[in-house]
Amino acid sequence: MTRTLQIHLGQFSDQGAKPANEDFYGALIPEGELLNLKGAVFAIADGMSSSESARLAAECAIKNFLTDYFATPDSWTVRHSGGRVLSALNRWLYAQGSRLFDPSRGMVTTFSALVLKSTTAHLFHIGDTRIWRLRDATLEPLTEDHHHWVSQERVYLNRALGVDAHLEIDHRSLPVEVGDRYLLTTDGVHGYLPPARIKQIIIEQGDHLDAACRALTAAARGAGSPDNLTCQLLRIDALPLPDADSVFQQLTELPMPPPLEPGMILDGYRIVRELHASPASQLYLALDTESNHQVVLKTPSVNFEDDPGYLERFRHEEWVGRRIDSPHVVKMIEPARRRRFLYHVLEYLDGQTLRQWITTHSQPPLNEAQAILEQIARGIRAFHRLDMLHRDLKPENIHLDQHGTARIIDFGSVKIGGVAEIASSVKQTDLLGTRNYTAPEVLRGEPATTSADLFAFGVIAYELLTGHLPYRDAFSGPVDAKRLTQRRYRSARSERPDLPNWVDGALEKAVRADPARRYTVETELLYDLNHPNAEFNERRPLPLLERSPTAFWRGVAWGSLLLNLVLFYLLHRR
């Protein structure tokens, strides 16, 4: 069996010499799939003493972070989830103080959180609370205090939750080892105990983590701390490090379905006919015998029944489909009955792929192409909003129904940000798409980003408008990094002189080799494909090679002949 993340936790807080405790702390260690997908969260906050609502600010920060973090989509990365939650929380705290028009009554607090997911520790930090790690008798601070010393007695915070509408968050991610101990403290503790004394107390208390927290706060108070004193101490007892055999066993819990033929019934679905077959999967039109609804069954290929990577991607495909709700992404359907075999159920779409449409609609009117591209962009946006990368966008994976609605129909190569953070023995790769639609940086072995999906979208737009690829066969043959960066964009106007310069300029920017020089989001590309951009709208004469290849090579031939005649004359003149 695969081991799960196991954590032992101790914590304690004391108001100390102050009349009230303005510190707050919290932890949430879920069970089952939620622990696997989102991890365990530990957080500590210290309300700013000069603020009348210091305690309330600290309490709101902890409680809201713990609840809202786990309410974010499972597909989001820890950094995305934590950052979005903290930004929203900061805006709310700042708004409360602004509403009162009195900074002294505002809601301001420091904040530090540790998220343990799979085999990685993620740190979020604002202010002068601290997160430490004790490993192999070495104690080190993992955060940096955001404060400024005015004098030996006076210090001011540079950053805190609720102090400004703009929030700058420190984020780190570090690998975790069994036996690691993580300590979260407020400045009432670490401001009065040197690191050597903190380490000594933790080691002396051994497995008694609650007792260690009490001993730390008592020692800090004995050292003269006039502040509230709070600390959390946790130890990593086990990590989810699956072995290949256990992973493969999980992936093959459902057997491969038998070969399907028209008339056969599989789990209550009557097979009507085969719609499509490829080396990787098969699609069948089927009829639900109970509801009489038409659906599509997608079955895996038996060619990959011993391939854990393929089986994991097939399983993730359904996970993705259940979480995306967009009119421009095909819908995954919950099976009406218990499955006895491995397959997916999808909505049936009557129509054709974009590849088929392009074949019969050569160089369509610009407004017609724009309408299709806008729908594709909305489908891509649905993936990116959930921290998902499609990684295999191409005309074959886009469907147009009889009403002209475009949908993305294949999720087999989708990379899920939140799932990619989970340790797995299954080897992952970003090089899964079709080469002519795969961004150069991915072909070079670099990780795929949203920019890679936008590159594919740009190639699709170019092909939809011209019927050709922007680089022809530049991606055929072995991958050559130098060749990829030196390939030449072929102007779309060389294929369609009627296209405006600004459309050609937008297409060129979309498929640039350098991802830093492409569009950052699909809406920017879509806007430039629909509205003249002054940057691209200047009349740019096409090179002769693109305007008239025949005239270009005729000129080269005549020039070569003339040069040879001149050389011949000069040689025989002597």
What is the reported pLDDT for 560? 74
What is the reported pLDDT for 425? 54
> H or E stretch including 284?
strand 281-288
Q: Which amino acid is at 517?
A: R
For residues 55 and 20, is the Cβ–Cβ distance under 8 A?
A: yes
What is the reported pLDDT for 559? 73
Nearest to 418 by CA among 84, 138, 3: 84
289 CB-near residues (< 8 Å, 6+ apart): 265, 268, 269, 270
The parts of the chain modelled with pLDDT lower than 50 are 1, 101, 247-248, 539, 544, 546-547
Nearest to 65 by CA among 109, 21, 33, 100: 109
What is the reported pLDDT for 306? 83
267 CB-near residues (< 8 Å, 6+ apart): 335, 337, 338, 339, 340, 341
Q: How many residues does the chain have?
A: 574
Span between the terminal Cα atoms of the chain, in Å: 91
Query: What average pLDDT does the structure give for the chain?
Result: 88
Q: Domain residue spans in the chain?
A: 6-243, 253-347, 351-546
* CATH number for the domain formed by residue range(s) 351-546: 1.10.510.10
User: Distance between CA atoms of 417 and 78, rounded to whole angstroms?
Assistant: 9
User: Distance between CA atoms of 169 and 160, rounded to whole angstroms?
Assistant: 9
Would you list the DSSP string of 256-271?
PPPPP-TT-EETTEEE
User: Distance between CA atoms of 156 and 253, rounded to whole angstroms?
Assistant: 58
CATH 3.30.200.20 given to domain 253-347: yes
Would you list the DSSP string of 459-486?
HHHHHHHHSS-TTTTTT-SS--HHHHHH
Write down the residue that tokens 């009230």 correspond to.
Answer: 20
Task: Name the E strands within 16-163.
Answer: 23-28, 40-47, 109-117, 120-126, 130-135, 138-141, 147-149, 155-157
Which fold is adopted by the domain 6-243? Phosphatase 2c; domain 1 (3.60.40)
- Residue 320 in tokens: 């993705």
What is the reported pLDDT for 149? 63
Helices (H) and strands (E) in the chain, counts: 18, 22
Same CATH fold, 253-347 and 6-243? Answer: no
Other residues' Cβ atoms within 10 Å of the Cβ of residue 132: 21
What is the reported pLDDT for 548? 52
What is the reported pLDDT for 543? 52
What is the reported pLDDT for 176? 95
- Ramachandran angles phi, psi of 492, nearest 5°: -65, -25
Nearest to 468 by CA among 520, 511, 432, 430: 511
What is the reported pLDDT for 105? 60
What is the reported pLDDT for 63? 97
What is the reported pLDDT for 303? 86
Map residue 48 onto helix, strand or coil: coil
For residues 408 and 397, is the Cβ–Cβ distance under 8 A?
A: yes
- Radius of gyration over alpha carbons of the chain, in Å? 30
For residues 330 and 303, is the Cβ–Cβ distance under 8 A?
A: no
Q: Which amino acid is at 241?
A: L
Under DSSP, the state recorded for 448 is: P
